[in-house]
Each structure stands twice: as C-alpha cells, then as structure tokens.
C-alpha cells in the first residue's frame, strides 16, 4: 500500500462502514498471511482493488490467487497491462475514432539499435516534441516534453532499452476564461468525473455542469466512455486537451493507478468533492455486487 493512499483508504472505509459494508486492508505487514488464507479457502473477498501490485510482486501473487477464487477484480492485471502500453493504445484509440497527437512509434533499443526517421516525419512532429516510453509509467517518468533533436531520441531509447517509444507532437491548449483547457477525466465503474487539470502546475479544479455547458465540453464524457470500452478498466484517469484547433485530443492515454492524495493536504492533490464521488461509486458498486452474490 502506497503511504499516500492512507487518506483515501480512511475516506473509503468511512463511506463503506456507514453503509453496512465491511472492508479489509492488505499492506506490507499482512500480505503474505492473507495470501495463505486465500489459498486455504479461509478468506475471500467480494470485490478487490489492488493499488500495489505494480511495485510489489507479493500483491500480484495474492491477486492471482483471488482471481482463481472468482473475486470481482477492479482493473484486472491483463486489462491493465494492455491499457498501459501507449503504443497499443495509440493505435486502438485511432481505430475507435479518438483524436490523438501525431506520433511515431519506434521499437526498443534492445531489439533494433538503428532507426530511420525521415525529415518529413520530424517536420510533422514539430519542435519541440515529446518523447515517451510506452510502458514505463507513473508521474511522467521517462517523459521528455521539450525535445528538439534526433540525439535526444537516441539518448532516451538507451535509458529504457527494452521499451518501445512514442515520439509525439506537442499539443497546445486553448484558454477558456484564463484557464488552460486541459482536463483530467476519471472513469469510476460507469461514471465520468471530469476536472480541470493544469499540466504546468498539476493543480486540479472541479469542472462544473455550467462550465461544461458554456464551453460545450460534453464530448469529454463520450471520449472517456470510449476509452473505458477500449481498455475494459473500471477505474482510471485520462488527460484530454481542447487544442488550439478546437479538437478534444487525448494526451496521456490511461493512468490506472490514480494519484488520490487529498488537495487539503497536498496542493496538487484531488479536490474532496471528486474524492467523495469516487468513494460513493465504489460503495454503490460493492453493495450491488453483494446483493448479486446473496441472490445466488
């Protein structure tokens, strides 16, 4: 369990307990014990959300045991691995009719040292352009946002030599009443929760219904639902920009481990009104799942 998840977990537990739902927290101190209990069929969970498997293989081991026991997984490992591959998502988003930045996909350095990028391709990318590893994720790790030269591409490829890379044109947002038209949209079970999110300051603001109406941003909902359909994930966020060309462009495709720190304690955290909507959706979903199990 990530240390900064504790705030969110306490909020989630409060919401669940007030609605007669039980919770069970698994962390470093008990993950091995819980895995054995699950193996021995002495413990089971109706719904399971794993926030740690990407950094601690013990949680993945537990998760795979729970999948055998038919626990309802939020964000199955197979779906996550598919969704976090930026090269795969780039192509699938285009097929689904979404706008994405012009990109060049280049193979891992470990597979092919030499790459050929034409002058016309570079010209279409523009300067500066973005260099992104396709599978190294989290907090912009490995991303170069102001690349200017081929040499930077060669250097970055060596950094994560087993990863594919995206070379991506830089998208510039419109301004709406002084705010950069950059949005982070959360998908939670079956609901889209759109927010303002400034890519330069990393600060959130709630996006109101009136703003959605005034700025004609209803398509944020359609785009996020489409991404949910493509990925099969129950919980993620995505970044969408209203570009200077008046197109809603998906920028950072899928973030499956959403940063859920509280804005009250961290300036770049999530506003409480958004966090409360997220835990409410989890509570409703879990209660419905419990009812289905009881009916059986």
pLDDT tens for each residue of 155-167 = 888 888 888 898 9
Q: What is the pLDDT of residue 278?
A: 98
Q: Please say if the pLDDT value at position 145 is more than 90.
A: no
Q: Which residue has the higher pLDDT, 114 or 247?
A: 247
Q: Which CATH architecture has domain 173-275?
A: 2-Layer Sandwich (3.30)
Find the mean pLDDT for residues 102-109.
90
Strands 175-176 vs 165-169: parallel, antiparallel or unpaired: unpaired
Distance CA 211, CA 107 (A): 42
Q: What is the pLDDT of residue 258?
A: 94
Confidence of residue 247 (pLDDT cuts 50, 70, 90): very high
Q: Please say if the pLDDT value at position 3 is more than 80.
A: no
Secondary structure E strands in 123-203: 129-133, 144-147, 165-169, 175-176, 179-180, 182-188, 191-197
Confidence of residue 69 (pLDDT cuts 50, 70, 90): confident
| pTM of the full structure | 0.91
- Give the CATH number of domain 102-169; options: 3.40.50.10190, 3.30.1490.20, 3.40.50.2300, 3.30.465.10: 3.30.1490.20
Q: For the chain, what are the domain ranges? A: 3-75+276-295, 102-169, 173-275
DSSP string, 28-56: TTTHHHHHHHHHTTS---SEEE-SSTTT-
Q: What is the pLDDT of residue 138?
A: 55
pLDDT tens for each residue of 5-28 = 999 999 999 999 999 999 999 999
pLDDT tens for each residue of 223-240 = 999 999 999 999 999 999
Q: What is the pLDDT of residue 155?
A: 86
Q: What is the pLDDT of residue 135?
A: 81
Confidence of residue 1 (pLDDT cuts 50, 70, 90): low
């Amino acid at each position: 369990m990530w240390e900064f998840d504790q705030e969110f977990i306490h909020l989630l537990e409060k919401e669940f307990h007030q609605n007669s739902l039980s919770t069970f927290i698994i962390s470093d101190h008990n993950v091995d014990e819980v895995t054995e209990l699950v193996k021995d069929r002495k413990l089971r969970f109706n719904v399971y959300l794993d926030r740690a498997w990407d950094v601690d293989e013990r949680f993945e081991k537990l998760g795979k045991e729970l999948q055998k026991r038919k626990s309802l997984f939020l964000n199955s490992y197979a779906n996550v691995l598919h969704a976090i591959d930026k090269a795969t998502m780039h192509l699938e988003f285009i097929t689904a009719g979404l706008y994405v930045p012009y990109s060049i996909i280049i193979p891992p350095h470990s597979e092919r040292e030499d790459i050929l990028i034409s002058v016309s391709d570079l010209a279409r990318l523009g300067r500066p352009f973005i260099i992104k590893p396709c599978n190294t994720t989290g907090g912009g790790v490995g991303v170069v946002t102001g690349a200017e030269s081929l040499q930077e591409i060669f250097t970055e490829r060596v950094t994560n030599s087993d990863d594919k890379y995206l070379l991506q044109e830089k998208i510039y947002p419109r301004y709406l009443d002084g705010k950069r038209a950059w949005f982070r949209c959360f998908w939670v079970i079956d609901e889209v929760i759109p927010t303002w999110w400034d890519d330069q300051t990393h600060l959130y603001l709630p996006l109101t219904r009136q703003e959605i109406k005034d700025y004609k941003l209803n398509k944020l909902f359609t785009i996020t639902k489409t991404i949910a359909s493509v990925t099969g994930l129950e919980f993620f966020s995505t970044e969408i920009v209203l570009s200077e060309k008046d197109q809603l462009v998906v920028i950072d495709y899928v973030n499956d481990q959403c940063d859920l720190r509280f804005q009250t304690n961290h300036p770049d955290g999530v506003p409480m009104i958004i966090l409360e909507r997220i835990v409410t959706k989890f509570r409703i979903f879990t209660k419905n799942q419990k009812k289905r199990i009881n009916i059986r």
